[in-house]
Amino acid sequence: MLPRIQDPPAVADYGEALLWYFEVVRRYNERLREFLCSLPPRSVRAVVVDAPSVGALGVARELGVPAYTFFAANASAVAVFLQLPWMRAGGQPSFKELGDAPLEFHGVPPMPASYLMRETLQEPESELYKAMMDAMRRNAEPDGILVNTFASLEPRAGPAGSSRRRGAEDASSVLRRAVGRGPGGAGAGTKEKHECLAWLDTQPERSVVFLCFGSIGAVTHSEEQLREVAAGLQKSGHRFLWVVRAPLRGDTQRLFDPRADADLDALLPDGFLESSEGRGLVVKHWAPQVEVLRHRATGAFVTHCGWNSALEGITTGVPMLCWPMYAEQKMNKVVMVEEAGVGVEIAGWERGLVTAEEVEAKVRLVMESEEGERLRARVAAHGDAAAAACKAGGSSRAAFGQFLSDAASLGRV
């Protein structure tokens, strides 16, 4: 085990935290080298680092150990990341200056430059921009790349995101994820059943719209936005399960504070909770997302397009309403809506406010229309493909087996 690192300094934003992390990886490379060399001879078959930790690849290269990077993102995002450093030559407008102008990528649908991660939409002279471009260039150097996807979901993106030495392999977390739909339940090893699962047990099949925006996305909604969502759900007439957290209001210390519960009566429209009782349930802070998505009563998923959430929606066969917020989620939305066809876009997020009318319209589209039925069928087909990919002979199982074989044969220290 490597020595404990010092606590991070207080930082103003994610960009500063990322720069600090890059520096920590660099500082600990010598400790990593000492650790690997302390292990029994020829026992290290490979080194796998996550994408931001590419500063450690040099240690593996020095010792002759096969090195791989793991992206928790999808193959399309990886393809974008690997192509970005070579897209803007000197004298051309920066990604920031391009604004909403479309960018063309191999293997990925065109998307506005503004959809890129915020850390790449900086001035090219900034320390953060240079560090990001360097990390993206170095992510093209390892022996292989492990990606959180399955082959049939993004057939064009895998080859486009290939490293120079080996292609992107779909070592999907779906390998560990239950894909079936059931009556609900608290899940293996859970002592108590969450109240929302008991409530779902009383609802008709595929009748409930589930709204959950992740641990960070949920606190970025303003009070005005929460009221618009509430009004839209009310007007739609459909059943709903909505996870709500108190708006952050700039206080980052409250981000992961379990005591920062929302005052629902103060945040939501007067009488909303009473008028929707029985038809809707608002849960503070957290809900067991996978169990909710697997439940027979869940009929649609309003999501912030975090990739884990997207895969959970796909593998459980639940159509999604896409509301991206931060990180690579805007790129994920392109994959979900335009490439895979597993979701519809909720308009207005790019302007900072989704209206009640838009919430109502998209909920009705997914839950009532023929287009919604076609969407549901596509998601179900992708869910079946995900399950098949993880079985013997499936693409994900084969890709992961190839990774293990390559790691065993390329060298040991």
Please tell me the predicted confidence (pLDDT) of residue 181: 45
Same domain, 405 and 376: no
Residue 289 has pLDDT above 90, yes or no: yes
Q: Work out the number of other CB atoms within 10 angstroms of the CB of residue 198.
A: 12
- Crossing angle, helix 370-389 and helix 395-410, to 10 degrees? 40
Same domain, 372 and 404: no
Same domain, 405 and 379: no
Same domain, 306 and 356: yes
Residue 167 has pLDDT above 50, yes or no: no
Q: Return d(Cα 262, Cα 276) in angstroms, integer.
A: 18
Q: What is the mean pLDDT of the chain?
A: 88
Please tell me the predicted confidence (pLDDT) of residue 5: 67
Mean pLDDT of 357-366: 99
Residue 68 located in a structural domain: yes
Same domain, 203 and 269: yes
pLDDT tens by residue, 345-355 = 999 999 999 99
100: exposed, middle or buried (Cβ count in 10 Å: 0-12, 13-18, 19+): exposed
Same domain, 160 and 220: no
Residue 122 located in a structural domain: yes
Residue 185 has pLDDT above 50, yes or no: no
Residue whose token pair is 């450690």: 56
Phi and psi based region of residue 64 (left: phi greater than 0; alpha: psi -120 to 50; beta: remaining): left
Residue 26 located in a structural domain: no
Q: Work out the number of other CB atoms within 10 angstroms of the CB of residue 43.
A: 9
pLDDT tens by residue, 363-399 = 999 999 999 999 999 999 999 999 999 999 999 999 9
Host domain of residue 289:
194-389
Please tell me the predicted confidence (pLDDT) of residue 218: 75
Residue 395 located in a structural domain: no
Residue 314 has pLDDT above 50, yes or no: yes
Same domain, 337 and 219: yes
Residue 37 located in a structural domain: no
Asked whether 212 and 289 are in contact (CB, 8 A), the reply is yes
Phi and psi based region of residue 261 (left: phi greater than 0; alpha: psi -120 to 50; beta: remaining): beta
Q: Work out the number of other CB atoms within 10 angstroms of the CB of residue 3.
A: 8
* Torsion on CA atoms 32, 38, 43, 46, rounded to nearest 10: 10
Asked whether 337 and 323 are in contact (CB, 8 A), the reply is no
Residue 264, both tokens? 């629902």
CA 244 → CA 230, 269, 337, 358, 397, distances in Å? 11, 14, 25, 19, 37
Same domain, 329 and 370: yes
Mean pLDDT of 215-244: 94
Q: Return d(Cα 174, Cα 176) in angstroms, integer.
A: 5
Residue 174 has pLDDT above 50, yes or no: no
- Per DSSP, the three-state class of 298 is strand
Output 368 or 2, whichever has higher pLDDT: 368
Collect all residues with Cβ–Cβ distance below 8 Å to 155 and sequence separation of at least 6. Answer: none
Q: Which of 48-52, 90-94, 270-274 has the lowest mean pLDDT?
A: 90-94
Please tell me the predicted confidence (pLDDT) of residue 89: 65
Find the CATH number of the domain harbouring 341: 3.40.50.2000
Please tell me the predicted confidence (pLDDT) of residue 351: 95
Same domain, 246 and 278: yes
Residue 121 located in a structural domain: yes
Same domain, 170 and 216: no
Output 32 or 190, whichever has higher pLDDT: 32
Q: Return d(Cα 15, Cα 256) in angstroms, integer.
A: 18
Helix (H) or strand (E) holding 400: helix 395-410
Same domain, 244 and 355: yes
Residue 210 located in a structural domain: yes
Asked whether 117 and 328 are in contact (CB, 8 A), the reply is yes
Residue 165 has pLDDT above 50, yes or no: no
Number of domains in the chain: 2
Same domain, 348 and 201: yes
pLDDT tens by residue, 64-78 = 999 999 999 999 999
Mean pLDDT comparison of 248-257, 279-288, 401-410, highest-scoring range: 279-288
Residue 17 located in a structural domain: no
Q: What is the pTM of this model?
A: 0.90
pLDDT over 90 percentage in the chain: 74
